[in-house]
Amino acid sequence: MDTHAVPGELTSLSRFAPVTTKHIPNQAMAKTTSPDRVLPSHELKGYLLGVVGVAIFSATLPMTKLAVGSDATPLMSGEFISFARAAIAALLSLGWLAIVRPPLPRGRDWAWLSVTAFGVVLGFPLFSSMAMRYVDGTHASVVLGVLPLATAGVGALVQRRRAPLSFWLASMVGCALVVWFVARRSVPALGPELGLALGPGLELGQTNDSPGFSLGVGYADGLLLMAVLMAAMGYTSGAMLSARHRAETVISWALVITLPVTAFGTWQTWPTAPMPTIAWAALAYVAIFSMWIGFFAWYRALAIGGVMRVSQVQLLQPFFGILVSIPLLGETWSWESMAFASAVVASAFIGRQCLKNESIQRTT
């Protein structure tokens, strides 16, 4: 996580899967076939745990920024952060699996588990960590606000379902808003050439707060969009697995099967120079909280509070990310960023409501 960052879609995508039930008396059916029919006390507890999970994930990008530094003052490499956080979380998962002793994945589960691991254990952390050296936490939080739509879209395609036109329109609006936001932060420094040619004094990695053009912003935005794609793939495959296994077990197995890769990658990319304490502390946070504890709080919230209710809390993540970036990274408040985050979240909410309220027909 992090996989972290927006995981509620992993479970909520289960609505794409066909559901079959045996004959159950009406009264029993009302109690067993409605996952969101929960007691008020359980619903409240689910919301509270959901907020805790989202708050943990919201600090992932700012903490990653603390660990990798900036282009002017680089610290840990994005590759090291991605490998090390996954390796540490995998060791914790080994202990958890040894205690819980869940059944082993079987047959095709291993293929989907590999896709999950590639997306949320390797892909998303790698691309997002590399991007954070060149952009601030506010910028990244807005761009990743489109992740819920991307996850639902990938889920519809993989499950061979035809989503309603209104969903795709909402998705296009959300993507257009992200592109517009990125362009507005890049174009003022680009000049009339719109970045087709770099002028004198333009350096890789400068931000829109620096003089000259931010080639780093364009590069980092591409990495962030790749991170969105990786997370969407991982959440979709994880949703299929979570129909047969506990969600905590899915993420734990995904971490464990990649341990040989992440352990070797950690060793190969280990920093050669001494790193400040704050960088190590940030790494510890994204490994223990973003990649592990946050998942447990979030999945428990979905289980006791109802998927369709509690998953809406995920829409708060871009705002939480912006709010965390201000004190943690010393960033300034931006009404423009909050406005774009609100618009992206609104498009995501509308798109998800379209999937919820309209029937989805299998693609022929």
- Over residues 157-198, the pLDDT tens digits come to 776 767 677 877 877 887 788 777 766 765 433 333 333 333
Please tell me the distance from the alpha carbon of residue 10 to that of residue 303, in angstroms, as a whole number.
Answer: 13
Question: Which amino acid appears at position 173 of this protein?
Answer: V
| Greater pLDDT, 311 or 360 | 311
Domain annotation covers residue 103:
yes
Tokens in use for 324? 């965390």
Place of tokens 């952390």: 125
Domain annotation covers residue 351:
yes
Domain annotation covers residue 198:
yes
State the first-to-last Cα distance of the chain, in angstroms, to the nearest integer. 35
Please state, for a pLDDT cut of 70, what percent of the chain lies above it.
71
Query: How many separate domains does the chain show?
Result: 1
Please give the DSSP secondary-structure letter assigned to residue 272: S
Q: Give the orientation angle of helix 40-58 with respect to helix 317-329, to 10 degrees.
A: 40
Domain annotation covers residue 328:
yes
Closest-CA residue to 146 (of 17, 289, 314, 297): 314
pLDDT of residue 2: 52
Please tell me the distance from the alpha carbon of residue 67 to that of residue 178, in angstroms, as a whole number.
Answer: 25
Q: Is the pLDDT of residue 338 over 90?
A: no
Average pLDDT over the chain, rounded to whole? 76
Number of other CB atoms surrounding residue 238 within 10 Å: 27
Tell me which of 161-165, 200-204, 358-362 is least confident.
Answer: 200-204
Domain annotation covers residue 16:
no
User: How many Cα atoms occupy the beta-carbon half-sphere of 113 within 13 Å?
Assistant: 22
Closest-CA residue to 12 (of 282, 358, 257, 243): 243
Domain annotation covers residue 148:
yes
Largest CA distance in the chain: 76
Please tell me the distance from the alpha carbon of residue 121 to that of residue 258, in angstroms, as a whole number.
Answer: 8
Please give the DSSP secondary-structure letter assigned to residue 161: E
Q: Is the pLDDT of residue 115 over 60?
A: yes
Give CA 128 to chain center in angstroms. Answer: 9
Domain annotation covers residue 31:
no
Closest-CA residue to 224 (of 65, 13, 80): 65
Of the pLDDT bands very low, low, confident and very high (cuts 50, 70, 90), residue 304 is confident
pLDDT of residue 7: 44
Domain annotation covers residue 279:
yes
Number of other CB atoms surrounding residue 34 within 10 Å: 11
pLDDT of residue 189: 37
Provide the domain limits for residue 169: 38-69+76-362
Q: Is the pLDDT of residue 79 over 50?
A: yes
